[in-house]
């Protein structure tokens, strides 16, 4: 039968009198009321009620032996955790049920924590009791604050980044990358010097991390050294100053390179004249006549280091007169190239004499008659390159076009604000070498910004911020023919403005 459940009498527990004071209570393990039980048994006996903790007033952190300092605000979760940890292993004696802070005046140097604990007493009755633990804060400066106080400019590790080229484009780009990834967040000081930047760190591991980061974005070689600062013979502690000397390879984008014969053969007989298309942790080289691509890693480069034949400073502007495509459009890793035979004339020659050059170029997909292009004028150049001399019977073309130019339109645009802006690192500028050529720097920076506009893949790793001051003028949108390449609005990040005004926070959603 399904419902043969036993009839159970409902049991109501009656009341008995507490054996000590006689108040009616529900029977428990000790058969005493809670007050009598409390008066008999004190479960907080033997627990610490008074503890001394060390506090660093400079950085507001608390000392956790043997060596760490824990940063915590007053009445915060971390401080509560730290304080409870200081009481020793509570779980062996009682069960902790609740813990909270009791307010104390911050200047009193006392922290009070109220703990509620439970313990089993006298035949199974569980008693719960609250008690207050008082912590006395003693002020004691932590090691790092002491060091900073003693000598504010003290650094332990330094990274010296150098690139032996006359322009600073790489460093502008590197600066943006560093900002985006926060690689220099632990740097004490950043100093800008001739042909490079110095970074100073408080910790050797921070410096190593920074060097590795840079190594991922540029091909470099480095060496490190250390210098003994102090030495404690008794405990055998040695304090050093570490220096990392990092050299970035001098090949930049859009450089024309003549490869040394060894390198050319190792790369599969890549024509000795190549253009560098991209520099990341590897150098991408493109042969403009065969449209062959290859990559050179950092160690491969530094094994046989070579210099560029022409750098982008030596660009000459050409006018394209005629384009004859030779091959079909090919796609190498996202960039399209098309071989074409073009008729060009130097801008300086145009209209003045009849110097026309017939050259083969890889920019057939971009150029049309009447366009402007930037390239290297080999016909008119007197290159003094040793590598070039090693090749016998090498015929050089008169000119090599590297990129399309928007020269005239840029003329119009000069002086107009851009809808986006970049942040910059706080750097000290070293004035001692007399290199304070601000105009040159400004024009290089402008060139860098223009580069960013034209190349979406360059923008990939960088954060661009919306420029609030930008007001598009009414007659700006009269582009005829080609559209000037510009940064689409979707790529821009709204600048996070952390101010007291809370409305600003909403702007992040734009």
Partner 1 sequence: MATRLMFENSCEVGVFSKLTNAYCLVAIGGSESFYSTFEAELADHIPVVKTSIAGTRIVGRICAGNKNGLLLPHNTTDQELQHLRNSLPDQVVVQRVDERLSALGNCIACNDHVALTHTDLDRETEELIADVLGVEVFRQTIAGNILVGSYCTFSNRGGLVHPHTSIEDLDELSTLLQVPLVAGTVNRGSEVIAAGMVVNDWTAFCGADTTATELSVIESVFKLREAQPTAIVDEMRKSLIDSYV
Piece of 12-20, 65-73, 384-392, 491-499 that binds partner 1 (CB under 8 A): 12-20
Where do runs of H (alpha helix) occur along 93-233?
Answer: 143-150, 169-181, 204-217
CA distances from residue 109 to 97, 102, 155, 310, 333 in whole angstroms, order as listed: 26, 13, 33, 68, 64
Q: Which of 17, 132, 229, 394 binds partner 1 (CB under 8 A)?
A: 17
Distance (Å, rounded) from C-alpha 374 to C-alpha 399? 10
Piece of 30-38, 157-165, 311-319, 418-426 that binds partner 1 (CB under 8 A): 30-38
**Nearest distance from C-beta of residue 37 to partner 1, angstroms:** 9
SS3 state of residue 462: coil
Q: Choose between 37 and 220: whose C-beta lies nearer to partner 1.
A: 37
Kindly provide the residue ranges of all beta strands, DSSP E only, lying in 333-378, ordered along the sequence.
335-337, 340-346, 357-361, 372-377
Token pair 């400073």: residue: 313
Q: Which of 1, 2, 3, 11 binds partner 1 (CB under 8 A)?
A: 11
Q: Does 24 bind partner 1 (CB under 8 A)?
A: no
Piece of 17-25, 54-62, 98-106, 293-301 that binds partner 1 (CB under 8 A): 17-25
Residue among 148, 152, 144 at smallest CA distance from 61: 144
Piece of 29-37, 78-86, 190-198, 395-403 that binds partner 1 (CB under 8 A): 29-37
Q: Does 21 bind partner 1 (CB under 8 A)?
A: yes
Q: Does 14 bind partner 1 (CB under 8 A)?
A: yes
Q: Which of 2, 4, 6, 10 binds partner 1 (CB under 8 A)?
A: 10
**Nearest distance from C-beta of residue 6 to partner 1, angstroms:** 15
Distance (Å, rounded) from C-alpha 322 to C-alpha 364? 11
Q: Does 9 bind partner 1 (CB under 8 A)?
A: yes
Token pair 């809370």: residue: 502
Token pair 């290297």: residue: 376
Q: Choose between 26 and 59: whose C-beta lies nearer to partner 1.
A: 26
Q: Does 32 bind partner 1 (CB under 8 A)?
A: yes
Distance (Å, rounded) from C-alpha 83 to C-alpha 362? 70
Residue among 455, 376, 450, 448 at smallest CA distance from 168: 448
Piece of 5-13, 131-139, 384-392, 417-425 that binds partner 1 (CB under 8 A): 5-13
Give me 139's structure tokens. Answer: 């002020």
Q: Choose between 26 and 136: whose C-beta lies nearer to partner 1.
A: 26
Q: Choose between 10 and 434: whose C-beta lies nearer to partner 1.
A: 10
Which CB contacts under 8 angstroms, 24+ apart, belong to 129-132?
129/38, 129/42, 129/43, 129/44, 130/98, 131/44, 131/47, 131/49, 132/49, 132/102
Q: Choose between 13 and 498: whose C-beta lies nearer to partner 1.
A: 13
Q: Does 126 bind partner 1 (CB under 8 A)?
A: no
Q: Does 16 bind partner 1 (CB under 8 A)?
A: yes
Q: Choose between 36 and 94: whose C-beta lies nearer to partner 1.
A: 36
Q: Does 415 bind partner 1 (CB under 8 A)?
A: no
Q: Which helix (H) or strand (E) segment is 99 a member of?
A: strand 95-102
Q: Does 124 bind partner 1 (CB under 8 A)?
A: no
371 cis-preceded (ω within 30 degrees of 0): no
Contact 397, 441 (CB under 8 A): no
Q: Does 283 bind partner 1 (CB under 8 A)?
A: no
Query: Quick one: DSSP state of residue 219?
Result: -
Q: Choose between 12 and 499: whose C-beta lies nearer to partner 1.
A: 12
Contact 183, 199 (CB under 8 A): no
Distance (Å, rounded) from C-alpha 126 to C-alpha 28? 9
Q: Does 19 bind partner 1 (CB under 8 A)?
A: yes
Piece of 4-12, 199-207, 318-326, 426-434 that binds partner 1 (CB under 8 A): 4-12
**Nearest distance from C-beta of residue 26 to partner 1, angstroms:** 10
Distance (Å, rounded) from C-alpha 345 to C-alpha 319? 5
> Around Cβ 108, how many Cβ atoms within 10 Å?
10
Bridge-based pairing of strands 464-466 and 492-493 is parallel
**Nearest distance from C-beta of residue 116 to partner 1, angstroms:** 25
Bridge-based pairing of strands 292-297 and 330-332 is unpaired
**Nearest distance from C-beta of residue 43 to partner 1, angstroms:** 18
Distance (Å, rounded) from C-alpha 401 to C-alpha 23? 104
Q: Which of 41, 54, 96, 122 binds partner 1 (CB under 8 A)?
A: 122
**Nearest distance from C-beta of residue 9 to partner 1, angstroms:** 5
Q: Which of 4, 5, 12, 230 binds partner 1 (CB under 8 A)?
A: 12
Piece of 21-29, 47-55, 210-218, 371-379 that binds partner 1 (CB under 8 A): 21-29
Q: Which residues pair with 190 in a beta bridge?
A: 199
Piece of 16-24, 196-204, 273-281, 410-418 that binds partner 1 (CB under 8 A): 16-24
Q: Which residues bind partner 1 (CB under 8 A)?
A: 9-14, 16-22, 27, 30-32, 122
């Amino acid at each position: 039968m399904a419902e043969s459940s036993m009839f159970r009498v409902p049991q109501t527990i009656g009341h008995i009198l507490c054996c000590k004071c006689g108040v009616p209570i529900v029977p428990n393990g000790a058969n005493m009321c809670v007050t009598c039980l409390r008066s008999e048994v004190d479960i907080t006996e033997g627990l610490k009620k008074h503890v001394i903790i060390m506090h660093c007033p400079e950085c507001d952190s608390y000392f956790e032996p043997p060596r760490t300092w824990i940063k915590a605000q007053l009445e915060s979760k971390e401080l509560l955790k730290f304080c409870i940890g200081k009481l020793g292993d509570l779980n062996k004696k009682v069960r902790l049920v609740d813990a909270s802070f009791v307010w104390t005046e911050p200047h009193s140097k006392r922290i009070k924590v109220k703990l509620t604990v439970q313990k089993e007493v006298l035949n199974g009755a569980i008693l719960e009791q609250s008690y207050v633990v008082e912590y006395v804060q003693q002020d004691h400066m932590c090691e790092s604050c002491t060091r900073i106080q003693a000598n504010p400019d003290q650094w332990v590790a330094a990274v010296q980044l150098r690139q032996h080229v006359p322009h600073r484009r790489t460093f502008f780009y590197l600066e943006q990358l560093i900002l985006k990834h926060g690689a220099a967040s632990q740097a004490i000081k950043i100093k800008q010097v001739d042909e490079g930047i110095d970074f100073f760190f408080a910790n050797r591991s921070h410096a190593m991390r920074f060097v590795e980061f840079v190594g991922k974005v540029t091909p470099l070689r480095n060496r490190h050294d250390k210098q003994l600062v102090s030495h404690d013979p008794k405990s055998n502690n040695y304090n050093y100053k570490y220096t990392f000397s990092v050299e970035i390879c001098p090949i930049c984008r859009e450089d024309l390179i003549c490869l040394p014969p060894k390198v050319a053969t190792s790369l599969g007989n890549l024509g000795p004249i190549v253009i560098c298309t991209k520099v990341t942790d590897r150098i991408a080289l493109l042969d403009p006549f065969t449209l062959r691509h290859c990559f050179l890693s950092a160690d491969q480069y530094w094994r046989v280091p070579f210099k560029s034949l022409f750098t982008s400073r030596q660009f000459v502007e050409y006018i394209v007169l005629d384009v004859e495509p030779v091959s079909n459009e090919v796609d190498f890793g996202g960039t399209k190239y098309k071989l074409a035979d073009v008729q060009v004339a130097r801008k300086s020659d145009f209209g003045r004499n009849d110097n026309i050059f017939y050259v083969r170029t890889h920019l057939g997909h971009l150029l049309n008659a009447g366009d402007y292009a930037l390239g290297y004028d080999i016909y008119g150049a007197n290159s003094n390159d040793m590598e070039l001399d090693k090749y016998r019977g090498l015929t050089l073309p008169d000119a090599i076009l590297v990129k399309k130019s928007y020269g005239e339109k840029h003329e119009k645009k000069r002086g107009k604000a851009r809808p986006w802006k970049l942040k910059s690192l706080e750097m000290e500028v070293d004035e001692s070498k007399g290199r304070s050529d601000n105009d040159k720097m400004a024009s290089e920076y402008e060139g860098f910004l223009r580069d960013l506009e034209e190349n979406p893949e360059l923008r990939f790793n960088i954060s661009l911020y919306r420029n609030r001051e930008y007001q598009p003028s009414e007659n700006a949108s009269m582009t005829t023919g080609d559209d000037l390449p510009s940064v689409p609005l979707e790529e821009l990040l709204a600048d996070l403005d952390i101010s007291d005004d809370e409305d600003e926070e909403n702007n992040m959603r734009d």
